[in-house]
Chain A
Amino acid sequence: MTATPTTMTRRNFNKGVLLSLGAFIAGCTPVKILFKAYPDEFKHNHSLQDEMLRAFAATIVPGVDRNTPKLTQIYYDEYYPFASYVPFFISDLDSRTKKVFAGRSFTSLSQSDRERVVLDAFRNGDSIIQRIYHGAIYMTRLNIYAGIYDDSRGCPHINFHGTSQNFVPDQMYYPNAKQYFARQTSLSGNPS
């Protein structure tokens, strides 16, 4: 489905966003919406997009290194319907920052001020904006904490080793585990 705000009723748009974000994990065919009512710079200026998305990722997961490779890949990944909202999302982030912090840019703000901008979207944005921000937060956490684009790396930030480390039994199990065992109801693990 392709549509612009002029050819689309609000109800239709709502439905479109719902379906397409729903498809993110449900795995159905993504419904694509091209929403074009935002300044051109957010469509074509990829380094601006990238900088803002890195700042957004660091807002949601403050401990993450902004230079982490593939930090923004999930937002552009066309497997997920969010990719079609990136310019719209960035333009909203920008205009919201300007409104809350009198003309400043999102990337120049401190962590707590960037958090305030995101909160503003939940407090003052309509249901579509809230959906998009919910989706963006969700994808950010998935991408970073689960390390979905680099299985060998995992997420060092939360000590998730990914596939890179082979653990020896002493690291995996307590050698003296038996002392912690509760009484068992059966010998086999299968009480009658």
Chain B
Amino acid sequence: MQSNTLLGKLHFQEIHHKTTTMQTRRTEVLIIGSGFGAAAPALRLSEAGVKVLMIEKGPNIIPEKDFKMTSDPKYFLQYLKTTKSPQFDMMYAEGLGGGSPFYEMVSLRAPSMAFDQRDKHNKLFWGNITRSVMDPYYDLAEKMLHVEQIAEDEIPKTGVVFSYMMKRLGYSCDRARYAVQGCVGSGYCISGCTFGAKQSLLVNYLPQALASGTEILTDIEASFIKPIGFAADRNTETDEMSQIPYRYEVLCKNRKTNEEFTVEAKCIIMGGGTVGTAALLMRSREYLSFLSDHVGKNIAFNGSVKTIGLLAEDLPDADMVTGRTHPGMISYQFLETNGITISAVKSHPIHVVSAARFWEKETNDRPGDWGEAGDQLMKLYRNRMFILYALGLTPPLGKLHLRSNSVIEPELEITEELRHYYKSTKEILNSILTRNGCKLVNFAMLNGEGEDMEKIHFGTTHMIGSARMARNIGEGVIDYNGEVFNYPGIFISDGAAVPTSLAVNSSLTILANAERIASSLVHRFGRKTHSLPILSSH
């Protein structure tokens, strides 16, 4: 595995130089992005003998050289991007491996309830795809990322305290699952693991895809997708790759040199993430005028709600700093009744202080989030402050608007349903704290200027569904095998394809779904067959 990574390093760089002299190039399959949704089809198609080119707009990442244990905002802002509105913000990463180098490695299967969600016409969002249909793909994804349940003696103190609080109330709490091997508990997961423990895509899918023949270019952004020729030319009768014409051209830009070039492809697989894929489709609408109206809509966001308290005296110390970034425990106690899962937050000061201000009580005419009162509270931050958060099956109500070719803005209408969800979820979280004798702490989420955002504000790294799978073009953008309605040969296999909130972290489901879509692609276009089941038509 290590030698694959080294091979990958050399190859990524070498190829990057070649682009400077390129005008037009051809490939059978062009994959846009290099995150969870992109990596699986790259590996499976190149293993099956298809010629694959992958382009990633973010920089190459060499863990030994590029990762740092740091709290420096400049470092994070190189890779982590946010798109914000007063009610809604989404954070994602841009770089080789997409979100995987920076994620917290929580790798959970979505519960059956997530797949059973229905739309307003009482139709299943996921069509025939159930948890048991997904399970073999989850198995495969877990095997590739070495996902394991956290060992009992490696649960960070914060997770243990959370489990104890749930126990005292007679509730359940499970040990969570992670894509990590040999974690030393440095706590710097979000800045990228310098210990080689995190199983990001940089140590499995991507080097393996490279070794199977995928070409990977970094710092290359797909700007527009255009069909070549007439619609009839794109509707081929054959799945034999050699007989499919080059149906699409993609204008690409080297973000380091600003040089532009074109890639002609027989098939395109979009894996730019929920924001990136929707933005590219919206930019390309001029050329892809028969796209569904649903592009950029129906964004599900796992409705994250938080609450903060100070631990009661009879509870042992938590620890925001030591151990992996996620606290190791998750409670499914309220899944059936309220559609939520609950965890605790474990976070270095940079991630909390940049996101929120908090105060214990109003002193005179101001909240005490700075000065003596604020400082006293911060001294309790590491061991006695406790943050709970819930993820829930909130409806897909988010939207994206393209303001210019590079500016994209989110929108979320806080409906009565969302307001009620927020209130009832908050009550559950607060009651877990107060019934354990903890004191609640006030807080407000902040924008990048240090000012408060709206009271009901949903921030997420789990956005999905901006080009969702559906039965038909009136309900979504792609079919259940990932193919874009009206544009044969364009597929979407990333978070944008996933139609509903999951109530758990999203990456494993995105990857499993990408494996499922890749499996049907290999079946159609591959030169070898794949052993996992293929979904029949819907």
Contact = CB atoms under 8 A, between A and B. Distances in A.
Contact of B73 (A134, A140, A142): A142
A160 B382 contact: yes
A184 B174 contact: yes
A141 B160 CA distance: 29
B73 A180 contact: no
Contacts of B350: 142, 146, 148
B189 interface: no
Interface stretch (A24-32, A36-44, A85-93): A24-32
B450 interface: yes
A83 to B, nearest CB: 13
Contacts of B372: 62, 111-112, 115
Interface string B166-205: 1100011111110000000110100000000000000000
A190 interface: yes
A161 interface: yes
Contacts of A182: 163-164, 166-167, 171-173, 331
B84 interface: yes
Contacts, number: 197
Nearest to A178: B152
A25 B111 contact: no
B69 interface: yes
B353 A146 contact: yes
B281 to A, nearest CB: 23
Given A142-B350, A147-B71, A148-B71, A184 B173 contact: yes
B366 A119 contact: yes
A146 B164 contact: no
Contacts of B322: 167, 171-172
Contacts of B156: 172-173
B449 A135 contact: yes
Given A131-B449, A182-B172, A173 B157 contact: yes
A21 interface: yes
21 contacts: A23-B448, A24-B448, A24-B449, A62-B375, A63-B379, A112-B372, A115-B372, A138-B354, A145-B378, A146-B71, A155-B349, A157-B379, A163-B69, A169-B185, A181-B160, A181-B164, A182-B166, A186-B332, A188-B149, A189-B150, A191-B111
A51 interface: no
A128 to B, nearest CB: 12
B173 A181 contact: yes
Contacts of A59: 371
A48 interface: no
A161 B71 CA distance: 12
A138 B449 contact: yes
A181 to B, nearest CB: 5
B276 to A, nearest CB: 16
A188 B108 CA distance: 10
A89 to B, nearest CB: 13
Contact of B108 (A171, A183, A190): A190
A146 B323 contact: no
A79 interface: yes
Interface string B326-369: 00001111010000000000001110011001000000011000
Task: Identify the interface centre among B77, B111, B349, B446: most chain A CB within 10 Å of its CB.
Answer: B349
Contacts of B450: 21, 134-135, 137-139
Contacts of B382: 158-160
A191 B174 contact: yes
